[in-house]
């Protein structure tokens, strides 16, 4: 077998996920040192990309007229399965192109960025409320728990440049703490201006945060996400927050979710909270510390924080993925090192959207 043919075979196996560890190491070594091998690799990659595009076009013509996009035949498609960690998806490629475009078309109608997905007759809308990559180094940080909207407060909070940021080029560092076991990152988000929920509509918030330790540690870390909805103003919320007693009693709605993580690098965590119609402000709070209380405290970093409003408008048909069924399905998928209090997993979660991302219907 010629060297070139052997290289092509290795590249093909790698792209198909069929390469064993030794062969992968050898291929990577060659790609690192051999410019011609790298060129061959890029050619092989681009051929696969082109084939995917060509056949996807055959099946789902490209979005030449986005406003006319209508994908039917959804029920015939297999569900895409997205797992945490090493994810695999069976989403067909044409649909993923559509997924990328869905926000645009709905945007024509609503004049705001809202992702719209039809699921078994239920219309789901996703509206970003906060997208924070900490790219603004002059972002004001409160020294204590915030008393106003839209200001981050972190334990010794600091925005730092990072070559390995989860998104962009900066992260926020919080901690270590001298006085407590946990380091915190908090923010109050104003939700008073949101459109009121329509009849039969259910609304919830979804928080997604990417976190890591600022230095290598071998012991597991515990992260906790909390969301609490209040009717009160930010200054009054601060008093409530620290007044003792359970937040379950003091907030209109409250949810907390903890994660034990022992893998190095970034971890993406998420949780949801039902949003009551009376809510005017929402506190999002991220805490981090060692599972073992005897460990010294260290600093943590967060990036790519997102808060989204998810609205479900029940449709006529609810035959396949009723909220109860979806809840059960997601519960079954929940990994064992996550434990909930309050919000838990909801039928409206973002993961439910991606489960059937190929079944997008844009009105």
Partner 1 sequence: MADTSLFVAEFTRNSQRVYSYILALVANIDDAEEVYQETSAIAWQKFDAFEPGTNFGAWICRIAYFRAMKLHEKRAGDPLTFDADLLEVIAQTHEMETDLMVVRRKALKICVDTLPEKYRDLLRQRYTGTTVQDIARVSCQTTNAVYKTLYRLHRQLHECISKRLTMGDGP
Q: Which stretch binds partner 1 (CB under 8 A): 19-27, 116-124, 287-295, 314-322?
A: 19-27
d(CA 115, CA 122): 13
Minimum Å distance from CB 206 to partner 1? 14
Q: How far is the CB of 270 from partner 1 (least distance, A)?
A: 14
**Cis omega before residue 176 (within 30°)?**
yes
Number of neighbouring beta carbons within 10 Å of residue 265: 10
Which residues inside 50-69 make contact with partner 1, applying CB under 8 A? Answer: 50-56, 58-59, 62-64, 66
The answer to whether residue 30 forms part of the interface with partner 1 (CB under 8 A) is: no
Q: Which one of residues 3, 70, 75, 108 is an interface residue with partner 1 (CB under 8 A)?
A: 108
| Of residues 129 and 197, the one with the C-beta less far from partner 1 | 129
21-47 residues labelled b (16+ CB within 10 A) or e (exposed): eeeeeebeebbeeeeebeebbeebeee
**x/- track of binding to partner 1 for residues 190-219 (CB under 8 A):** --------------------x---------
* Range in contact with partner 1 (rule: CB under 8 A) among 3-11, 148-156, 313-321, 338-346: 3-11
* 24 contacts partner 1 (rule: CB under 8 A): yes
| 43 closest CA partner among 31, 32, 61 | 31
Stretch that binds partner 1, among 8-16, 137-145, 222-230, 338-346 (CB under 8 A): 8-16
Handedness of CA 79, 80, 81, 82 (dihedral sign): negative
Pairing status of strand 300-313 against strand 281-290: unpaired
Alpha-carbon distance 172 to 137, whole Å?
Answer: 9
| Contact string 231-270 vs partner 1 (x = CB under 8 A) | --------------------------------xxxxx---
DSSP for residue 69: -
């Amino acid at each position: 077998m010629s060297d070139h043919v052997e290289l092509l075979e290795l590249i093909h196996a790698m792209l198909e996920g069929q390469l064993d560890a030794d062969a992968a190491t050898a291929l990577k070594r060659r790609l690192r040192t051999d410019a011609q091998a790298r060129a061959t690799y890029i050619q092989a990659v681009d051929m696969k990309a082109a084939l995917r595009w060509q056949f996807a076009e055959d099946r789902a013509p490209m979005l030449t007229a986005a406003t006319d996009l209508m994908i039917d035949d959804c029920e015939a498609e297999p569900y895409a399965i997205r797992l945490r960690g090493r994810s695999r998806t069976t989403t067909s490629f044409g649909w993923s192109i559509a997924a990328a475009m869905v926000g645009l078309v709905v945007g024509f109608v609503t004049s705001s960025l809202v992702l719209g997905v039809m699921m078994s007759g239920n219309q789901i809308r996703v509206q970003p409320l906060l997208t924070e990559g900490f790219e603004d180094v002059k972002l004001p940080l409160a020294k204590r728990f915030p008393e106003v909207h839209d200001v981050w407060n972190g334990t010794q909070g600091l925005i730092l440049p990072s070559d390995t940021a989860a998104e962009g080029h900066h992260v926020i560092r919080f901690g270590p703490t001298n006085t407590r076991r946990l380091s915190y990152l908090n923010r109050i988000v104003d939700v008073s201006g949101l459109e009121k929920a329509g009849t039969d509509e259910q609304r919830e918030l979804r928080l997604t945060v990417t976190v890591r330790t600022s230095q290598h540690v071998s012991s597991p870390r515990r992260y906790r996400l909390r969301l609490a909805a209040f009717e009160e103003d930010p200054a009054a919320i601060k008093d409530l927050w620290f007044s003792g007693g359970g937040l379950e009693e003091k907030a209109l709605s409250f949810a907390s979710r903890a994660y034990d993580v022992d893998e190095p690098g970034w971890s993406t965590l998420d949780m949801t909270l039902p949003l009551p119609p009376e809510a005017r402000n929402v506190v999002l709070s991220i805490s981090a510390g060692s599972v073992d209380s005897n460990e010294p405290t260290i600093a943590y970093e967060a990036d790519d924080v997102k808060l989204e409003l998810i609205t479900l408008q029940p449709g006529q048909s609810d035959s396949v993925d009723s909220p109860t069924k979806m809840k059960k399905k997601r519960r079954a998928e929940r990994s064992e090192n996550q434990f909930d209090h309050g919000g838990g997993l909801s039928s409206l979660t973002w993961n439910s959207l991606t489960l059937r991302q190929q079944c997008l219907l844009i009105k």
